[in-house]
């Protein structure tokens, strides 16, 4: 008996086998969930398709979250293939590389709009389109980072977008709570992924993290996968509108002397 036997989930945000969404997909699949996947563009399709197929996915569809028609088409396919959804994983963010380097005050209007649209609004857009598919007891999980709460050098407009994303989680949780649908965010510590490689100085931040975090190590996609599994299972039946930290305790450290 798996914790998620009979549950159907949609995973948005796998780019490759380093993606946080992939760590989550593996954890959910191991407990019996049936999963569909989305990708953006031909280059990523070549990476995502074999991964999704290895977990027996019946649905592997393109979806650019900047395109409402693409989101609607995706949800139409989800209805055809699965009928309804119990799990929705949103592991999507994007900002231009130029915006993730130097002073926040140089953020451009277009860079701000793009980061907010892809990294914050997309959760609302996807949940809105999926609302009729979500079963009572369904769980929605998105990914955030502590740069939303405190300044993280070079994270800049993405920190502002993550603050909006975390606020969106609270509002969506309030909208969907009466239908017993839960919405939560996982705030992950730094992990070396495609998206993270766009942030100036990320390598050094990643390296220093393990010396400061209470667990004295970096976070893995397996760590995040296990927390997401909990949030998607009945063990988290009373948890909604939260930002759950999976960062080895780093965000609770004020001042630290490096070992």
Q: What is the edge-to-edge ordering of all strands in the sheet holding 243-246?
A: 60-62, 34-39, 8-12, 85-90, 134-144, 182-188, 243-246
Minimum CB separation of residue 119 from ligand NAD in Å reads 6
Cα–Cα nearest to 31, from 52, 58, 14, 9: 9
Which residue stretch of 53-61, 74-82, 186-194, 234-242 sits at the interface with ligand NAD (rule: CB under 6 A)? 186-194
Minimum CB separation of residue 14 from ligand NAD in Å reads 6
Which residue stretch of 11-19, 103-111, 131-139, 177-185 sits at the interface with ligand NAD (rule: CB under 6 A)? 11-19
The dihedral over CA atoms of 90, 160, 155, 103, expressed in degrees to the nearest 10, equals 160
Q: Which of 79, 94, 170, 200 is in the footprint of ligand NAD by CB under 6 A?
A: 94
213 binds ligand NAD (CB under 6 A): no
Residue 145 among the catalytic residues = yes
Q: Which of 188, 213, 228, 232 is in the footprint of ligand NAD by CB under 6 A?
A: 188
Q: How far apart are CA 193 and CA 57, in angstroms?
A: 23
20 binds ligand NAD (CB under 6 A): yes
11 binds ligand NAD (CB under 6 A): no
**Residue among 21 and 116 whose Cβ is closer to ligand NAD:** 21
Task: Using DSSP bridges, classify how beta strands 60-62 and 34-39 pair: parallel, antiparallel or unpaired.
Answer: parallel
Q: Which of 145, 155, 245, 250 is in the footprint of ligand NAD by CB under 6 A?
A: 145
Q: What is the largest CA-CA distance in the chain?
A: 56
Q: How many chain residues interact with ligand NAD (CB under 6 A)? A: 27
190 binds ligand NAD (CB under 6 A): yes
88 binds ligand NAD (CB under 6 A): no
Q: Which of 74, 92, 138, 183 is in the footprint of ligand NAD by CB under 6 A?
A: 92
Minimum CB separation of residue 38 from ligand NAD in Å reads 7
Minimum CB separation of residue 144 from ligand NAD in Å reads 6
Residue 82 among the catalytic residues = no
Just list the catalytic residues: 145, 155
Q: Which residues bind ligand NAD (CB under 6 A)?
A: 13-15, 19-21, 40, 44, 63-66, 91-94, 118, 143-145, 188, 190-191, 193-196
């Amino acid at each position: 008996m798996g914790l998620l036997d009979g549950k159907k989930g949609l995973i948005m945000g796998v780019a490759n086998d380093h993606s946080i969404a992939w760590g989550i997909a593996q954890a959910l699949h191991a407990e019996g969930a049936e999963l569909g996947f989305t990708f953006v563009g031909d280059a990523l399709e070549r990476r995502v398709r074999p991964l999704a197929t290895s977990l027996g996915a019946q649905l592997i569809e393109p979806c650019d979250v900047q395109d409402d028609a693409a989101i609607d088409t995706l949800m139409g396919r989800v209805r055809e293939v699965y009928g309804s959804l119990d799990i929705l994983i949103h592991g999507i963010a994007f900002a231009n590389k130029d915006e993730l380097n130097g002073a926040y005050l140089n953020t451009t209007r277009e860079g701000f709009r793009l980061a907010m649209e892809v990294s914050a609004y997309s959760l609302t857009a996807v949940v809105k389109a999926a609302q009729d598919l979500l079963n009572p007891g369904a769980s929605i999980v998105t990914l955030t980072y502590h740069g939303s709460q405190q300044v993280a050098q070079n994270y800049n407009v993405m920190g502002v977008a993550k603050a909006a994303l975390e606020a969106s989680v609270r509002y969506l949780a309030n909208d969907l709570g009466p239908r017993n649908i839960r919405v939560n965010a996982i705030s992950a510590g730094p992990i070396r992924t495609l998206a993270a490689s766009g942030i100036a100085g990320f390598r050094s931040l990643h390296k220093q993290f393990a010396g400061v975090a209470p667990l004295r190590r970096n976070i893995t996609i397996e760590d995040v996968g296990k927390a997401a599994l909990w949030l998607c299972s009945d063990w988290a039946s009373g948890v909604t509108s939260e930002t759950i930290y999976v960062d080895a305790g780093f965000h609770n450290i004020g001042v630290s002397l490096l070992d």
